[in-house]
Amino acid sequence: MKNFCLAASLFLLALASASAAEIPRHIFYHDLELDWQPDQFEGEMERSMKRWKTEMTDAGFRPFVSYWGDYLANPVGGLSQEGSWQQLLIVGGEVSLDKTIGLPGGSLVVSVTDAAGSNLSQTVGNVFTISQARVMNTFALYDLYYKQRLFHDHLEINVGRFSAGQYFATLPAMGQVVSGAVNGNPTSLFLNAPYHATASASWAAHAKVKNEHAYLEAGVFQASPRIGNPAYHGADFTIQPGDGVLIMAEMGWTPTFGEKSTLGDGKKSVAVDEPGLKGVYTFGAYYANYTFDTFQGGTAHNAYGFYWMAQQMVWRSRANHHHHLTLWGGITYSPQEDIAQMPVMGFGGIAWQGPIPGRDTDNLLLSFYTGNFSGPYADAQTAAGQGRPSIETVLEASYIIQLTSNLQLQPDLQYIIQPGGTGDIPNALVIGFQVGLTF
């Protein structure tokens, strides 16, 4: 009966809900506006690759490749001192069924991931993953789903295998930081719910309806302890007794303040180039009919929680519109402290594009992440002799150097206050860099 209910839920949501463009957990953001094309950086090889990709897209297949490599070390603090390399490769493509078999708005998406390296957080002893490239450390099948766009792209429906993190609880700015604390989803959701992201797909249905300045989306995802297990390499398609569902919903407002269009004086047109200040404001919630182990040693059924997130461009240079300043932040709340390891998490930061003259597409990022551990979890850790966790906080500063339109280098510094939340581990300084490549 539970298997039938799961299958029925997926089918009904696919028919009844609504969708639009996704924001995967790991995205190579050139610009917080998501519309910048730095053609001035392109060499002949890059232009040739772009032409090849355009030809492939015109033929009905849009390929994509993204790579992140992080070298990070903690010369001070933590359980011990060490350096580590972590990398993540995502390769995939979207087949347009409109161009191949004449099905308007339809497409198939497939991708694989490959991750390798060591997790520096194990050396430091902290909870917020230091490297955003740290996912399931193996080769895995990731996306495998059908996408249908309707009503001039105002409605999109997705059915197949993908992750909740691709669509829910993220902001464009969160894809820029090196820390895995929020790139591209808050750590608290992974600790408190059967929530999954990059490299960990499940059976799911998602839909989103949108207009120019607002959207509403919903999704239902298979909840199972097998999801994200490296032993399955993303290839376990079964629905077994004990599996449940994770239901998520989100609404958003995407305003642009101060935008001005081309004006005319009656005799000649006068170009007014004021793209305005773009913003994203979201509120979401989740519910899982799943069985959870409580920190007291029993079990509990059903979990729920909420999140609020926003980012807003607050300044843009009139002389050069690529120079702008954006504020972003959010909070998650999971009230069931007997099963929620981190009931409250807060995060935010500043993204300044073009801080250095002549470097229009570089970004300076200053961010913070903090989370408090629940009382029952702290009691359980204390009883096990692991100290009493309360709050862990991370301060991060990094600078994205845009080397070409496809390649970036990002020096990074993180300061981890109270690793693990107990105060028993010395505060840690983490330094390093990230290399990002997208095509």
What CATH architecture is 2-438?
A: Beta Barrel (2.40)
Confidence band, pLDDT 50/70/90 cuts, at residue 14: very low
Give me the pLDDT at residue 42, please.
59
Please work out, in degrees rounded to the nearest 5, the angle formed at the alpha carbon of residue 86 by the alpha carbons of 84 and 90.
175
Using 50, 70 and 90 to split pLDDT, how confident is the model at 266?
Answer: low
Query: pLDDT at residue 283 above 50?
Result: yes
Cis peptide upstream of residue 330 (ω within 30 degrees of 0): no
Average model confidence (pLDDT) across the chain: 88
State pLDDT tens for residues 33-78.
434 444 455 566 667 777 777 777 777 889 999 999 999 999 999 9
Residue pair 186/173 in contact (Cβ under 8 Å)? The answer is: no
Q: Where are the chain's structural domains?
A: 2-438
Interval 13-30 mean pLDDT: 34
Would you say 133 and 86 are in contact if contact means Cβ atoms under 8 Å apart? yes
The pLDDT confidence band at residue 374, using thresholds 50, 70 and 90, is very high
User: Is the Cβ–Cβ distance between 405 and 38 less than 8 Å?
Assistant: yes
Grouping H, G, I as helix, E, B as strand and the rest as coil, residue 17 is coil
Model confidence pLDDT, tens digit, residues 294-331: 999 999 999 999 999 999 999 999 889 899 999 999 99
Q: Is the whole-model pTM more than 0.75?
A: yes
Q: How far is CA 282 from the centre of its chain?
A: 14
Taking phi first (over 0 means left), then psi (-120 to 50 degrees means alpha), and beta for anything else, what does residue 321 get?
Answer: alpha
Residue 271's pLDDT is what?
59
Q: Rounded to whole angstroms, how far apart are CA atoms 72 and 95?
A: 37
pLDDT in tens, 201-244: 999 999 999 999 999 999 999 999 999 999 999 999 999 998 99
**Cβ-contact 261, 270 below 8 angstroms:** no
